[in-house]
Amino acid sequence: MATSCNPLNGYSMNTLILGIGNEILTDDGIGPKLVKALQSKLRIPGVVYRTTALGGLETLEEIKDFDDVVVIDAIRTEKGKPGDIYTFTPEDFRETLHLSNLHDVNFLTALEMGRKLGIKVPREIQIIAIEVAEDQVFSNEFSPQIKLRYTHIEEKVGSLVLRILGSC
């Protein structure tokens, strides 16, 4: 069932929900797949839904000119279990699969570069990261661990997005 809401808590009518990941790399595609699911279920005025397989500095191009952004991405940590969900801001993160890249500047540096270059960067960025099991194997399907928990993950991420936006 679709939910219609109005953003509160200072979130603007110029908000982006961005799913990052490659949908043909098993669990790596969880960000884009979740954003597509949320787009069909959460109809919130002023919220734009997008997906991208790009990360690092290229993310700046996706988020510029938005007031507020919620990024949904995959993460792999040493102690996390597939399906665990984390929330943080750019200042907190080090480990998402796409917002940091050994061959590119990290997301925090890209934001600072954007500001110095006069690019309008979002005033508020929240990151939702989902612990994944497999992100190196080509497949349109999730790993068994993520597939088993996907419905719960989708519900939890939807609730987090609504809470972040202060909606409903």
- φ/ψ of 71, rounded to 5, equals -100, 135
For position 94, what pLDDT does the model report? 53
Take residue 114 and report the two structure tokens written for it.
Answer: 């954007």
Supply the pTM of this predicted model.
0.85
Distances (CA, A) of 27 to 2, 100, 154, 158: 25, 17, 14, 18
77-101 pLDDT, tens per residue? 889 999 999 998 877 755 454 555 4
For position 44, what pLDDT does the model report? 86
The residues of the chain scoring below 50 in pLDDT are: 1-8, 95, 97, 101-103, 168
Q: How far apart are the first and last CA of the chain?
A: 14
- φ/ψ of 11, rounded to 5, equals -70, 140
For position 151, what pLDDT does the model report? 97
Where do the domains of the chain lie, and which CATH numbers do they carry? Answer: 9-165 (3.40.50.1450)
For position 166, what pLDDT does the model report? 83
